[in-house]
Copies of this chain bind each other. A is one copy, B any other.
Amino acid sequence: MLTVSYDGTNYCGWQIQPTGITVEEVLNRELCRLLSEDIHVLGVSRTDSGVHALGNLCVFDTDSEIPPEKICFALNQSLPDDIVIQSSCEVAPDFHPRKRDSIKTYEYVISAGKVPDPLRRRYSHFFYQPLDVEKMRLGAKYLVGEHDFKSFCSSHSDKEYTVRELTAITIEEKIISDGKCLDGSDPVIGGSAGLREAKEIRIRISGTGFLYNMVRIIVGTLLRVGTGFWEPEKVKEILDARDRNAAGPKAPACGLTLLEIKLL
């Protein structure tokens, strides 16, 4: 089993696609080369195009005699620098990670400010409207627990059973102080109105199961609460509606990272 991290910017997601290169395809190719066997990895989370991961998991069968813990180091030598294996270990031959109960944690990063920061653009969603984080937290509370998340599922999904359980949502707000002077004083630059007053908002969502686009639709909905377009209580109505059209838009892929999958 491999713990796989990747910058999803240049990939059409995890799963092999006819339309472009995917993480699964690159792993299969490099494992075949490394182990001289026909390898097909089985991933736990099939992340979407442009979504990142720090702790996705996959398994594969091999007859290799390379010690399991060393495979990550050998594989990292030949992988492109936007895919890195964090660790590797042996699991039982009948171990099937998708059939195991797990808690997945996703993080969605929002860069808030007047002007985007080019060093954050690949891994966050720039949002210039002011956000009331306390209201977002109130709205998010309605989503924790077991609910029918049909309103938060892409209409392109063919899943009929849409009840899922979210175990936690946390929303952190941080002032970005990159532009601050070392002595903590405000930078004043040649009479301009100061450098950067930016905030970063990190939404972490953990759950035992997720529907297609569920995290991104939740974030799109919470953004509408944060701007004041919707009151926090509206989230409850959206859940009850069981209708994708009731919820907010899908937030962009670049802000989303699969942080970890905890097998129970």
Contact = CB atoms under 8 A, between A and B. Distances in A.
Contact of A55 (B3, B123, B179): B179
Interface in A181-202: 181-183, 187-196
Interface stretch (A31-39, A85-93, A156-164): A85-93
Interface residues of A, number: 60
A24 interface: no
A244 interface: no
Given A3-B189, A191-B91, A179 B54 contact: yes
Interface stretch (A112-120, A132-140, A217-225): A112-120
A105 interface: yes
Contacts of A261: 189
A121 to B, nearest CB: 6
A237 interface: no
A170 B189 contact: no
A129 interface: no
A188 B263 CA distance: 8
A151 interface: no
B181 A72 contact: no
A153 interface: no
A191 to B, nearest CB: 6
B193 A89 contact: yes
A179 B260 contact: yes
Contacts of A260: 179, 181, 187, 189, 195
A121 B7 contact: yes
Interface stretch (A12-20, A76-84, A228-236, A245-253): A76-84
A119 B182 CA distance: 26
Nearest to A176: B54
A10 to B, nearest CB: 11
A181 B262 contact: yes
Contacts of A105: 181-182
A52 B178 CA distance: 13
Contacts of A121: 7, 81-82
A6 interface: yes
A145 to B, nearest CB: 15
Ranked nearest first, the 4 interchain pairs of A and B with the lowest CB-CB distance are A190-B263, A89-B192, A7-B118, A168-B182
